[in-house]
Structure 1
Amino acid sequence: MGIIAKQTIKGSIWSYLGVVVGFVTTIYLYTEYLTPEVVGLFGLLAAISTIASSLSSLGMNGVTNRLFPYFRDKSSGNNGYLFVNLIPQMVGFIMFFLFFIFYRNSLIDNNIEKSALFAEYVDLIIPISFSFLLFNALDSYLKLLYNAVFGTFLQEFLQRFLIFLSVILYVFKLIGFQQLIIAYMIAVSAKAVILVIFLWRKGELNLRPVSGFITPKLRKEMIDVALFSIVGGLGSMIVFNIDKIVVNQLLDLSNTGVYTIAFYFGTLVIIPSRPLLKITGTLIADAWKENDVETIGNLYYKSCLNQFIIGGFLFLGIWANIDNILTILGPDYAASKWVIFFIGLGYLIDMLTGANGLIIQYSKYYRVALVFIVILVVIVLILLYSLIPLWGITGAAIAIAAALFLNNLMRFIFLFKKFKLQPFNYNFLIVAVFYFILYFLIRFIPEQMLILDLFLRGGGIVLASIVFFSVVPVSEELKQVRSFFNF
């Protein structure tokens, strides 16, 4: 079994163990024991910290993704790359910290009336942002050492388990409300500390600089990539995190909480792509170094098809059970139905188009991604400010789905015109027709009591999918998965 399949399976196992924990936390604990305002606070802190960490990185994660293969040499500590990577990011974070201190009072004043809870805990942005910055830097480094699994374990499972544990302590009154907020901060920050310890124990935390390795030509390329990555990376973070900030600005923290819960369900569709794209990106970077377009085309096709199969399966499972999900969430979250649909659909489109972004990012045409992202930021901001006043949080979800569609359409057209890369064939149509037919068949199941209904609809989708993909040979990787699990 290839390295992509192995690491994708292992990463997906951790991801979906995390999904189980996150499901219990989100569906039961958040909705039963926390108010929408508290859930909105968690979502808003994470969104702002994600954007802040991206800005503070000064584009160095883009440098890692694109140029680390030129530094790779275990015997020399990868030619001091980690030192070169982290120093600019620490400088970037200091600049953000000073900016935050200067505008802190204004931020509090603007939120004190409709988002008082956020105004009270606004200072938590600093430790959370720093932990996100450090984790992203080291996780990007680790995946290029061909280990995409450990970062996935920390991000997708351990973080969710620690949040679950924090809420459990609060539910049983072992900690108070203020301690719950601090525990949440620790839960989302712990992954960075653990990753530092992991790399140190593996002998990969080499912070010694190596003089003379970076030639003037390489330095120029690093600066060039970093400058473009600052805008591109920040733009990407804005597109996929600004929605919560705008919802809070135009509506309130309670609506932000409802949107955060609904957004969680939509993002369940995309979870398996994270470990797959981590390791696929490493192989694409190495293939571009050798200008091996044939290998890149093969990786492109496989990433599109296999992600579409997985994403379609998950989207179908969520939407077929949407009424059951809304029953579990309760009346406070009734407005989340179409948010779940549009966010899930948007991420399904993103999975359908596979590793297109990584192929562009690691190619000599990486600058074009900057043009795409600038266009995308403008579009998503226009849509958010236009659609939220009309349709509330559903308008925000439509804006994000439209942004994902347009972004991937631009990437697809570019790759086709520049490299004649076009991954789609009749296998995609077979998969799409199967899922459409299965959805309409599932609708004929009579409505049952909640648990039984979930079991019948979910079980029917699982059983039908296993039978179909065992009989119809649309993907070689699915055969490898069956071999991995010995069935």
Structure 2
Amino acid sequence: MGIVINQSIKNTVITYIGFAIGAVNSLYMYPHFLGEDFYGITTYILSSANVLFPLMAFGIHNTLIKFFSEYKTEKEKKQFLGFVLLLPLLIILPIFAISILGYDSIASFLSRKNAIVYDYVWQIPIIALCMGYFEIFYAWVKVHMQSVYGNFLKEIGLRILISIFLLSVYFQIITVEQFITATMFAYLISMLLMLFYANKVKPISFRFKIPNNAKAILVYSSFIILSGSVANMLLDIDKTMLNQYIEIKNLSYYSVAIFIATVIAVPSRSMHQITYPITAKLMIENKYDELNDLYKKSSITLQIVGGLVLVGILVNINQVYHLLPKNYSGGILVVFLIGISKYFDLILGNNNAIIFNSKYYRAILFLGLLLAFFAITLNMIFIPKYGINGAAIATLISITLYSIAKLLFVVLKMKLYPFTVNNIYALLIGLLCFFGFYYWEFPFHPIINIILKSILITLLYVFLSFKANLSEDINSVIIKTLKIIRMN
């Protein structure tokens, strides 16, 4: 776990800095500079692109990681990369052809509830394309155990570009309409920077040669396209469907709530950057004892860190919404519902990496497709009745069922177990801190209240987790940090 902890810490720091920048964007600049409607449009376009991007990537970002370790020579690895880089064109070209020829019909359907969306639908496939190739180039550096720079680009670089464009709107350098297009260029710039860095880490060959295991690659990629589409659909289909049922401004309220809840998933995103290629390597080498150990360690580590973030958000949520325009307060319940779903997914550790790199990846796909259909149906039922809260309820049910299904699959089929008694203790510590601080408010300004509560919760939570010795890796980090502080 040495390299995992080292790069996970760096990635966590980077991701939280990115989320801090994103917080300024999402909680202040978007609502005040763009207004409710254009904030809602931005949310819709990016969410729709995120649903589409697994198709654009052709699953290659996962395929690269799974098959890379099977090639022994540098020549074979370069030929493999050259082959998989061209595979997405099998889907990209038809999608763009359909988008161009049928734009009017597609845009009219997607804008039937909110006519303002019509003029921006064309940007969705372009952003999805940039997202897809960004992840492919990022996967190339991840298999070389270099995950930090890509994470920096994704979490900080992209958000800084967005901040610059938002400030440009504020100073009337560009209009709110032009901001939407500028966002598309931000994703294009990020993709190109990732390409340049990937080529620097290990030169990229664009020479096309079909490898011996081309059939296995194609089959795996085809299934992963659908698996990735299912996963992204479960994450973003709610925002996409909200546009079809309620006014676009409601997406801005929902987006703020989702952003707050998504902070909980930061530790998971950071750790998975490095555990994914390690998981693939361990499975290829049939080191299942080591894999089971990694499974347990990733689960408890993510639960402890994610639990602290979840508790910190929930006990401060009322104060956070005091800082936002009054119309946004309807998203508080959304934060609770989505936060709980993120927490449950978090404690599964590197579950996804195990499934996608196992021989059972096809079977779990069909279950995922069923649950995706279930998610769409639930959104169709709950959104018209309860608005953004209905979307959150549908998402909570869908993600929870999907997570349970994946967990049971790994446990029953592969005999790998993520949980120990320490997971129960971590849950109890989280509940203790939540109920101990949620009903307690300081009579100060919301920002001061948030800071004071966060400090107290962090001290108590970390102290209890450390004394209970729930995670050797986390305790080791705490001890090293204390030594550094004492030395200074």
Report the TM-score when normalising by structure 1: 0.94
Alignment counterpart, residue 435 of structure 1, candidates 415, 426, 430: 430
Contact 1:128–1:185 (8 Å) recurs in 2? yes
- Alignment partner of 1:419 is 2:414: yes
Alignment counterpart, residue 297 of structure 1, candidates 279, 292, 299: 292
Q: In 2, Cα distance between the equivalents of 1:52 and 1:416? A: 31
- Alignment partner of 1:387 is 2:382: yes
Contact 1:149–1:275 (8 Å) recurs in 2? no
- Alignment partner of 1:43 is 2:28: no
Spell out the pairing of 1:33-432 with structure 2 (5 A cutoff): 33-71=33-71, 73=73, 75-76=74-75, 78-112=77-111, 114-210=113-209, 214-215=211-212, 218-432=213-427
Look up the equivalent residue of 2:450 and give its one-letter code: L
For residues 315-371 of structure 1, the C-alpha deviation after alignment (integer angstroms, 9 at most, x for no partner) is 111110111121112212121111111111111000011111211111111112212
**1:377 to 1:135, Cα distance in 2 relative to 1, 3 A:** same
Q: In 2, Cα distance between the equivalents of 1:27 and 1:443? A: 22
Quote the sequence identity (%): 25
* Equivalent residue, structure 1, for 2:453: 457
Q: In 2, Cα distance between the equivalents of 1:459 and 1:331? A: 27
Contact 1:60–1:85 (8 Å) recurs in 2? yes
Q: In 1, Cα distance between the equivalents of 2:72 and 2:308? A: 38
Deviation at 1:206, TM superposition (A): 2.3
Contact 1:62–1:225 (8 Å) recurs in 2? no
Q: In 1, Cα distance between the equivalents of 2:186 and 2:89? A: 22
For residues 126-153 of structure 1, the C-alpha deviation after alignment (integer angstroms, 9 at most, x for no partner) is 4312211210211122211211212211
Look up the equivalent residue of 1:395 and give its one-letter code: G
Deviation at 1:273, TM superposition (A): 0.8
For residues 203-224 of structure 1, the C-alpha deviation after alignment (integer angstroms, 9 at most, x for no partner) is 432223456xx22xx2221122
Question: Unaligned regions of 5+ residues in structure 1, if any?
Answer: none
For residue 173 of structure 2, give the secondary structure of its aligned residue in structure 1.
coil
Contact 1:154–1:191 (8 Å) recurs in 2? yes
For residues 90-134 of structure 1, the C-alpha deviation after alignment (integer angstroms, 9 at most, x for no partner) is 232111101111321013323556423321222222431221121
For residue 448 of structure 1, give the secondary structure of its aligned residue in structure 2.
coil
Q: In 2, Cα distance between the equivalents of 1:484 and 1:157? A: 27
Report the TM-score when normalising by structure 2: 0.94
Q: In 2, Cα distance between the equivalents of 1:88 and 1:29? A: 39
Question: Unaligned regions of 5+ residues in structure 2, if any?
Answer: none
Deviation at 1:444, TM superposition (A): 4.8
Contact 1:250–1:389 (8 Å) recurs in 2? yes
Look up the equivalent residue of 2:8 and give its one-letter code: T
Q: In 1, Cα distance between the equivalents of 2:114 and 2:156? A: 30
For residues 191-240 of structure 1, the C-alpha deviation after alignment (integer angstroms, 9 at most, x for no partner) is 101011112233432223456xx22xx22211221221222222222222
Look up the equivalent residue of 1:157 and give its one-letter code: I
Look up the equivalent residue of 2:205 and give its one-letter code: N
Shifted more, 300-309 versus 125-134: the winner is: 125-134
Work out the number of aligned pairs and report it.
Answer: 482
**1:446 to 1:357, Cα distance in 2 relative to 1, 3 A:** closer
Contact 2:224–2:356 (8 Å) recurs in 1? no
User: Where has structure 1 moved over 6 Å in runs of 4 or more?
Assistant: none
Q: In 2, Cα distance between the equivalents of 1:90 and 1:224? A: 16
Deviation at 1:43, TM superposition (A): 1.2
Contact 2:331–2:389 (8 Å) recurs in 1? yes
Shifted more, 343-352 versus 431-440: the winner is: 431-440
Q: In 2, Cα distance between the equivalents of 1:277 and 1:303? A: 9
Q: In 2, Cα distance between the equivalents of 1:59 and 1:465? A: 39
Q: In 1, Cα distance between the equivalents of 2:299 and 2:187? A: 31
Shifted more, 197-206 versus 338-347: the winner is: 197-206
Deviation at 1:484, TM superposition (A): 5.5
Look up the equivalent residue of 2:157 and give its one-letter code: L
Q: In 2, Cα distance between the equivalents of 1:331 and 1:436? A: 29
* Equivalent residue, structure 2, for 1:24: 24
For residues 154-180 of structure 1, the C-alpha deviation after alignment (integer angstroms, 9 at most, x for no partner) is 111111111111111211223222332
Shifted more, 236-245 versus 260-269: the winner is: 236-245
Deviation at 1:268, TM superposition (A): 0.7
For residues 371-404 of structure 1, the C-alpha deviation after alignment (integer angstroms, 9 at most, x for no partner) is 2211211211121111112211111111111122
**1:114 to 1:408, Cα distance in 2 relative to 1, 3 A:** closer
Shifted more, 202-211 versus 191-200: the winner is: 202-211
Q: In 1, Cα distance between the equivalents of 2:207 and 2:27? A: 46
Contact 1:361–1:369 (8 Å) recurs in 2? no
Shifted more, 127-136 versus 113-122: the winner is: 113-122
Shifted more, 10-19 versus 436-445: the winner is: 436-445
**1:287 to 1:104, Cα distance in 2 relative to 1, 3 A:** same
Shifted more, 465-474 versus 365-374: the winner is: 465-474
Q: In 2, Cα distance between the equivalents of 1:320 and 1:422? A: 31
Deviation at 1:63, TM superposition (A): 2.0
Q: In 2, Cα distance between the equivalents of 1:227 and 1:287? A: 23
Q: In 2, Cα distance between the equivalents of 1:72 and 1:166? A: 45
Q: In 2, Cα distance between the equivalents of 1:37 and 1:484? A: 48
Contact 1:77–1:206 (8 Å) recurs in 2? no
For residues 67-88 of structure 1, the C-alpha deviation after alignment (integer angstroms, 9 at most, x for no partner) is 1211354x32724122111111
Look up the equivalent residue of 1:479 and give its one-letter code: N
**1:111 to 1:291, Cα distance in 2 relative to 1, 3 A:** closer
**1:112 to 1:440, Cα distance in 2 relative to 1, 3 A:** closer
**1:199 to 1:111, Cα distance in 2 relative to 1, 3 A:** closer
Q: In 2, Cα distance between the equivalents of 1:95 and 1:71? A: 31
Shifted more, 317-326 versus 142-151: the winner is: 142-151
